[in-house]
Amino acid sequence: MDAKLIVDEVRLTPILISDPPLLNTQGVHQPFTPRLVVEVITRGGVSGLGETYGDGVYLGLARPLAGALPGRMVTDVNGLFALAAETAGAPRQDADAGVDASGLRGVRTADKLRLSVVSAFETACLDALGKTLGLPVHALLGGKVRDEVEYSAYLFHKWAGTDDWGAALDPAGVVAQARRFDREYGFRSFKLKGGVFEPEREIAAIRALAEAFPGRPLRLDPNGAWSVETSLAVARELKDVLEYLEDPASGTAAMAEIAARTDVPLATNMCVTTFEEIPRAFAENAVRIVLCDHHYWGGLHRTRELAALCRTFGVGLSMHSNTHLGISLAAMTQVAATLPGLHHACDTHYPWQTEDVVTTRPVFRAGRLAVSDAPGLGVDLDREALAVLHRRWLEDDGTYRDRDDAAAMRAVDPGWTPSRW
Ligand X SMILES: O=C([O-])C(=O)C[C@H](O)[C@@H](O)C(=O)[O-]
Catalytic residues: 193, 320
Which of Mg ion, ligand X, none does residue 102 bind to, with CB < 5 to 8 Å depending on kind? Answer: ligand X
Interface positions, 11-70, toward ligand X (CB under 6 A): 22, 24
Contact 206, 139 (CB under 8 A): no
User: Containing H/E element for 155?
Assistant: strand 148-155
Q: Which is nearer to ligand X, 322 or 338 (CB)?
A: 322
Instruction: Output the CA–CA distances (angstroms, integers) from residue 195 to 23, 125, 199, 241, 321, in the order listed.
Output: 9, 38, 7, 18, 18
Which of Mg ion, ligand X, none does residue 258 bind to, with CB < 5 to 8 Å depending on kind? Answer: none
- In the three-class reduction of DSSP (H, G, I as helix; E, B as strand; rest coil), residue 44 is classed as coil
Residue closest to 350 by CA, chosen among 138, 149, 173:
149
Contact 187, 347 (CB under 8 A): no
Q: What is the 3-state composition of the chain as percent helix, strand, coil, each rounded to the nearest 5?
A: 40, 20, 40
| Range list of H helices, 69-223 | 79-88, 110-133, 137-140, 171-185, 199-212
Output the smallest distance, CB 334 to ligand X, in A: 20
> For residue 409, which phi and psi values (nearest 5 degrees)?
-70, -40
Of positions 323, 328, 333, 334, contacts ligand X by CB under 6 A: 323
Residue closest to 114 by CA, chosen among 285, 274, 305, 346:
274
Q: Please tell me the total number of residues recorded for the chain in this structure.
A: 421
Q: Which is nearer to ligand X, 41 or 270 (CB)?
A: 270
Of positions 177, 231, 252, 322, contacts ligand X by CB under 6 A: 322
Output the smallest distance, CB 115 to ligand X, in A: 17
Of positions 221, 243, 356, 402, contacts ligand X by CB under 6 A: 221
**Does residue number 104 form part of the binding site for ligand X (CB under 6 A)?**
yes
**Does residue number 273 form part of the binding site for ligand X (CB under 6 A)?**
no
Span interacting with ligand X, options 64-72, 126-134, 237-245, 317-325, rule CB under 6 A: 317-325
Q: Which is nearer to ligand X, 24 or 189 (CB)?
A: 24
Residue 164 has what DSSP assignment?
S
CA atoms within 13 Å, Cβ hemisphere of 77: 27
Which of ligand X, Mg ion, none does residue 15 bind to, with CB < 5 to 8 Å depending on kind? Answer: none
Chain contacts with Mg ion (rule: CB under 5 A): 221, 246, 269
| Count of Cβ atoms closer than 10 Å to residue 345 Cβ | 24
The CA-to-CA distance between both ends of the chain, in Å, stands at 59
Output the smallest distance, CB 1 to ligand X, in A: 40
Per-residue mark of binding to ligand X, 181-200 (x: CB under 6 A) = ------------x-------
**Does residue number 262 form part of the binding site for ligand X (CB under 6 A)?**
no
Of positions 13, 47, 87, 223, contacts ligand X by CB under 6 A: 223
Q: Which is nearer to ligand X, 122 or 405 (CB)?
A: 405
Contact 59, 36 (CB under 8 A): yes
Q: Which is nearer to ligand X, 188 or 295 (CB)?
A: 295
Q: Which is nearer to ligand X, 152 or 333 (CB)?
A: 152
Interface positions, 114-153, toward ligand X (CB under 6 A): none
Output the smallest distance, CB 267 to Mg ion, in A: 8
Cβ neighbours for 413, distance < 8 A, ≥ 6 positions apart = none
Q: What is the contact surface with ligand X in residues (CB under 6 A)?
A: 22, 24, 102, 104, 193, 221, 223, 269, 320, 322-323, 347
